[in-house]
């Protein structure tokens, strides 16, 4: 049945995901989201990575009380459970009906220019909805993502994302080539830049150096295309607000390394501001700092 080879436990995980998505798909979006959030709150704190999330939150925001940190982590699991449930409804979620779009003029400007832009975000709110904003303005996007370890689950996720219209490119050597080709073809990119990197350059994030991939800054400076921050905020029920910010200033000091670092610092500052505003929206289980 499958073209891809997988281990027995991967088949089990795949069919578990299929059954769960089938159940979520039978429910209306708001009910499915609420049920996914309930499951996330009940099950998330019991998994081993919960301790990782707690350590990272304490490291980033030590000023919070234990009760405040616990509330944030519970909210994080609620959000992640909702994100998983909402995969079953990705095709039906729409701007105007479920999504309030703020700053759409920045996307419209890119569309009307006929040139490319790089939209930057993180695993915040329901990040899968970012491409809906591009689709609303007729702006096809090439999105970079980390492929699932399970090849069957990866195939399932891609089938769910396909109706949205964006092209998804997994991270790696091939991705770098594909992204450069997309920019040369005046296509826009979407990149989530909040994960820990084994390589890259140290850039301050919550006052501590975090290894950060320089690709987004290098591409923007090389192609002179705007870098536009965008985030998805979860509202009540199955409703969302996509906020698109004005393009970042691209430095031109003549020192390429210094300019790359300046762009990355600006991006991390934007991400940190978002997270401090709604810390329950961020995926704290990512190992963002060394030695976590």
Q: Report the predicted TM-score, pTM, of the whole model to 2 decimal places.
A: 0.91
HEC secondary structure over 214-235: CHHHHHHHHHCCCEEEEEEEEC
Q: Are strands 141-145 and 118-121 parallel, antiparallel or unpaired?
A: unpaired
Report which secondary-structure segment, H or E, holds 209.
strand 208-212
Report which secondary-structure segment, H or E, holds 34.
helix 29-43
Question: Mean pLDDT, to the nearest integer, of 21-42?
Answer: 94
Each residue of 105-127: pLDDT tens digit?
999 999 999 999 999 999 999 99
- Give the pLDDT band of residue 1 (cuts 50, 70, 90): very low
Each residue of 35-87: pLDDT tens digit?
999 999 999 999 999 999 999 999 999 999 999 999 999 999 999 999 999 99
Token pair of 279 as six digits: 């810390």
Q: Where are the domains of the chain?
A: 8-281
d(CA 140, CA 59) in angstroms, rounded, equals 38
d(CA 165, CA 161) in angstroms, rounded, equals 8
Each residue of 166-194: pLDDT tens digit?
777 777 667 778 888 889 899 999 999 99
Q: Give residues with Cβ within 8 angstroms of 19, minimum separation 6.
A: none
Nearest to 263 by CA among 215, 195, 208: 215
């Amino acid at each position: 049945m499958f073209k891809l080879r997988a281990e027995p436990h991967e088949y089990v995980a795949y069919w578990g995901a299929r059954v769960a998505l089938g159940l979520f798909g039978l429910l209306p979006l708001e009910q499915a989201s609420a049920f996914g959030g309930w499951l996330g709150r009940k099950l998330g704190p019991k998994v081993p990575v919960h301790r990782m999330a707690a350590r990272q939150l304490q490291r980033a925001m030590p000023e919070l009380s234990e009760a405040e940190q616990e509330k944030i982590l519970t909210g994080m699991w609620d959000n992640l459970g909702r994100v998983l449930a909402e995969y079953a409804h990705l095709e039906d979620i729409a701007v105007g009906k479920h999504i309030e779009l703020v700053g759409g003029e920045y996307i419209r400007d890119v569309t009307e220019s006929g040139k490319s832009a790089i939209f930057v975000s993180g695993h915040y709110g329901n990040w899968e909805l970012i491409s809906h904003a591009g689709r609303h303005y007729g702006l096809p996007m090439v999105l970079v993502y980390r492929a699932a370890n399970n090849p069957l689950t990866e195939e399932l996720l891609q089938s769910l994302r396909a109706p949205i219209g964006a092209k998804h490119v997994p991270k790696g050597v091939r991705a770098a080539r594909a992204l450069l080709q997309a920019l040369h073809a005046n296509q826009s990119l979407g990149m989530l830049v909040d994960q820990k990197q084994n390589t890259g350059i140290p850039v301050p994030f919550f006052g501590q150096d975090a290894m950060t991939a320089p690709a987004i800054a290098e591409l923007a400076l090389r192609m002179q295309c705007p870098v536009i921050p965008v985030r998805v905020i979860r509202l009540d029920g199955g409703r969302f607000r996509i906020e698109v910010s004005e393009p970042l200033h691209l430095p031109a000091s003549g020192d390429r390394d210094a300019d790359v670092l300046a762009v990355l610092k600006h991006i991390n500052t934007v991400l940190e501001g978002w997270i401090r505003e709604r810390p329950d929206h961020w995926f704290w289980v990512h190992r963002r700092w060394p030695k976590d």
